[in-house]
């Protein structure tokens, strides 16, 4: 009897070891990379955006790091983390920060297994958010949802962006302008840059005026408020939309870029940029 009891205990212990479930490892930390700004509204806006991301994906670790001007800096955030991370730039196109600054920060954190996602833009979800911001600014004929009455036939929009000397950044902004134009039912949308190469906001406004376009609005192609966004809005002859901010479509896009990076890029100590 004693031998049978011992055998039963052994079998039960073995069965317990086989059926015991180990807790699933935590998902890679999403590190949102913001540019940073001296405007205090910028940090509040990015914080609200990441709160939306957390609400969409409970349990996902989400951290913030800035390239400059705000705390926490990206290098400090990465220094505090361990394990796997996915950096999602809250930037709207390719340029120096995407190609140099962010990979450099990852290279300085060899203790991490890191992936770098594509910048947020261009993407149709940003066109959705821009459409909403124009409607909120009172731009004639623009409704917050598709299917509303069309914009005036002579209307025009300037897509105000930060700008860059990198030609890829200009290409990305032009693609974003085309996506917004399609979302607006074919209203002409011209890029205007606050800095770098390419036409400025005033140049784009003059071009639309020469084409007889009226009314003309300025769409703010910025993630958060800041100096460039304020300057571009001040140049608007009429409606000036707010930056993208914590729009729900932007929060969904942050998660989309995170998931895209996990699906398409191998984890390594070196930076991997995922294609748009």
Percentage of the chain beyond pLDDT 90 is: 72
| Domains observed in the chain | 29-121+248-264 (3.40.50.1400), 124-234 (3.40.50)
Q: What is the mean pLDDT of residues 10-25?
A: 61
pLDDT of residue 24: 77
> Is the confidence at residue 12, as pLDDT, over 80?
no
Pick the residue with more confidence: 208 or 272?
Answer: 208
- Which residues contact residue 152 at a Cβ distance below 8 angstroms, ignoring those fewer than 6 apart? 140, 141, 214, 215
Pick the residue with more confidence: 200 or 273?
Answer: 200
Highest average pLDDT, of 166-180, 193-207, 254-268, comes from 166-180
Q: What is the mean pLDDT of residues 262-276?
A: 55
Q: What is the mean pLDDT of residues 71-99?
A: 96
Q: What is the mean pLDDT of residues 249-273?
A: 78
Q: What is the mean pLDDT of residues 124-137?
A: 96
Tens digit of pLDDT for each residue in 144-185?
Answer: 445 445 555 688 999 999 989 899 999 999 999 999 999 999
Q: What is the pTM of this model?
A: 0.85
């Amino acid at each position: 009897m004693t031998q049978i009891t011992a055998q039963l205990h052994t079998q039960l212990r073995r069965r317990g070891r086989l059926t015991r479930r180990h807790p699933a490892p935590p998902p890679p930390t999403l590190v949102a990379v913001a540019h940073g700004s001296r405007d205090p509204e910028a940090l509040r806006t990015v914080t609200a955006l990441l709160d939306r991301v957390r609400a969409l994906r409970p349990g996902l670790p989400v951290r913030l790091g800035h390239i400059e001007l705000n705390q926490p800096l990206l290098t400090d955030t990465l220094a505090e983390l361990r394990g796997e991370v996915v950096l999602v730039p809250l930037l709207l196109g390719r340029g120096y920060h995407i190609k140099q600054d962010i990979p450099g920060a990852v290279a300085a954190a060899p203790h991490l297994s890191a992936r770098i996602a594509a910048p947020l833009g261009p993407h149709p979800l940003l066109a959705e958010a821009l459409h909403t911001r124009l409607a909120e600014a009172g731009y004639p004929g623009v409704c917050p949802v598709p299917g509303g009455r069309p914009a005036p036939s002579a209307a025009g929009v300037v897509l105000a962006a930060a700008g860059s000397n990198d030609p890829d950044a200009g290409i990305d902004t032009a693609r974003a302008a085309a996506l917004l134009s399609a979302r607006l039912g074919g209203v002409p949308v011209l890029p205007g840059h606050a800095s770098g190469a390419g036409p400025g906001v005033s140049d784009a406004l003059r071009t639309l005026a020469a084409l007889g376009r009226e009314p003309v609005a300025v769409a703010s192609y910025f993630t958060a408020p800041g100096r460039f966004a304020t300057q571009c809005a001040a140049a608007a002859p009429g409606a000036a939309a707010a930056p993208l901010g914590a729009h729900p479509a932007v929060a969904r896009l942050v998660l989309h870029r995170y998931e895209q990076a996990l699906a398409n890029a191998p984890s390594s100590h070196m930076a991997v940029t995922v294609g748009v």
